[in-house]
């Protein structure tokens, strides 16, 4: 472990980190404070951190005059479904790779792993053509599809299962006559809970914040997701910064809440795979 040595070294370290942190958080704090300012004050100079006068009008107008709630529901429902499906798929496959030796395992694993390096922009056009032209382009299906089989999640699950679920537990269950799927459902899934939480948060954020795919796919404004809806306020002729700021703050709340609750698992879960490589 690295030591900071002297007391002054430690003070310097704390100061450096604080300054850096300030740089990281300033944009967010500024957005938060701006969302409570009347429109004219958002660009006030010098910019003040504490809104004066303080107003909730931006939020009120946003909720009253824009279909914010609908955008929010659209994004949330899509993200929740995508998350549940993908976490299940990942746990299944992660378990399959972690605890079985079978013909073609190495090849199949490498195929899965290399799908990490297929950029989304590459499948953007064909996915659009396939789904929209075949009539499967209903947002309820098509918005979910790109997030249901992430290789990253399988890798994460596989690493976690190898490290934390001993073979002996599974053997014991087999001797007791449990079916393979029964073992997965009754023993593996419960043991996986912490890392499932991490993966779930990650997947939720991926879907909830996604922009490019909904931008391409959703043309009907009644089916806009949050980022698309906010974008319409942002690019409309009189840029409604006040409303966008309020909307963005509201939009980020569930993500931040989820993150705060499951922060530990998420941070650890994300790095499980990377450390051992």
Partner 1 sequence: MTTALTGKGVGRPARTTRETGGTAPTARPKRTWAPYLFISPFYVLYVLFMLVPVGVSLWLSLTEWVGLGTPRWVGLRNYRLLATDISFHRALGNTAVFVLVAICVIVPLALLIAQALHTRGLRARDLWRTAYFVPIVVSPILVALVFGLFFDRQFGLLNSVLRALFGSGGVDWLGDPGLAKVSIALVMMWRWTGYLTIFFLAGLQAVPRELYEAAALDGAGRLRTFSTVTLPSLKPVTAFVVVTSFIGAAQIFEEPYLLTGGGPAESTLSVSMFIYRAAFQRQQFGYAAAAAVVLFALVFGLSQLFNRVLGIGRAAA
List binders of partner 1 among 221-240 (CB under 8 A). Answer: 226-227, 230-231, 234
The number of beta carbons lying within 10 Å of the beta carbon of residue 200 is 22
CA triple 52-56-62, angle to 5 deg: 135
Using CB under 8 A as the binding rule, the residues of this chain from 38 to 67 that contact partner 1 are 42-43, 45-47
Residue 276's Cα: distance from chain center in Å? 23
Which residue bears the tokens 């690493």? 159
Least distance in angstroms from the C-beta of 40 to partner 1: 11
Least distance in angstroms from the C-beta of 227 to partner 1: 5
Least distance in angstroms from the C-beta of 55 to partner 1: 18
Q: Does 80 bind partner 1 (CB under 8 A)?
A: no
Stretch that binds partner 1, among 51-59, 63-71, 96-104, 191-199 (CB under 8 A): 96-104
Using CB under 8 A as the binding rule, the residues of this chain from 237 to 256 that contact partner 1 are 241, 244-245, 248-249, 251-252, 255-256
Using CB under 8 A as the binding rule, the residues of this chain from 160 to 189 that contact partner 1 are 162, 180-181, 184
Stretch that binds partner 1, among 52-60, 65-73, 121-129, 192-200 (CB under 8 A): 121-129
């Amino acid at each position: 472990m690295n030591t900071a040595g002297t007391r002054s070294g430690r003070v310097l370290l704390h100061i450096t980190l604080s300054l850096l942190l300030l740089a990281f958080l300033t944009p967010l704090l500024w957005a938060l404070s701006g969302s409570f300012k009347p429109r004219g004050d958002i660009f006030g100079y010098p910019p003040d951190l504490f809104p004066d006068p303080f107003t909730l009008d931006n939020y009120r107008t946003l909720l009253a005059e824009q279909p914010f709630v609908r955008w929010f529901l659209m994004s949330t429902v899509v993200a929740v479904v995508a998350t549940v499906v993908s976490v299940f798929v990942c746990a299944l496959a992660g378990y399959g790779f972690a605890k079985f030796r079978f013909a073609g395992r190495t090849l199949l694993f490498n195929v899965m792993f290399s799908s990490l390096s297929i950029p989304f922009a590459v499948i953007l056009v064909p996915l659009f053509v396939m789904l929209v032209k075949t009539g499967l382009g209903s947002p309820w299906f098509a918005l979910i599809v790109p997030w249901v089989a992430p290789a990253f999640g399988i890798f994460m699950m596989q690493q976690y299962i190898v490290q934390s679920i001993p073979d002996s537990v599974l053997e014991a269950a087999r001797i007791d006559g449990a079916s393979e799927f029964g073992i997965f459902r009754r023993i593996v899934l419960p043991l996986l809970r912490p890392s499932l939480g991490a993966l779930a948060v990650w997947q939720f954020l991926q879907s909830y914040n996604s922009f490019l795919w909904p931008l391409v796919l959703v043309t009907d404004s009644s089916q806009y997701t949050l980022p698309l809806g906010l974008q319409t306020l942002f690019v409309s002729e009189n840029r409604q910064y006040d409303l966008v700021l309020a909307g963005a703050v509201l939009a980020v709340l569930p993500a931040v809440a989820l993150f705060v609750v499951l922060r530990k698992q998420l941070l650890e879960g994300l790095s499980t795979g990377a450390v051992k490589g």
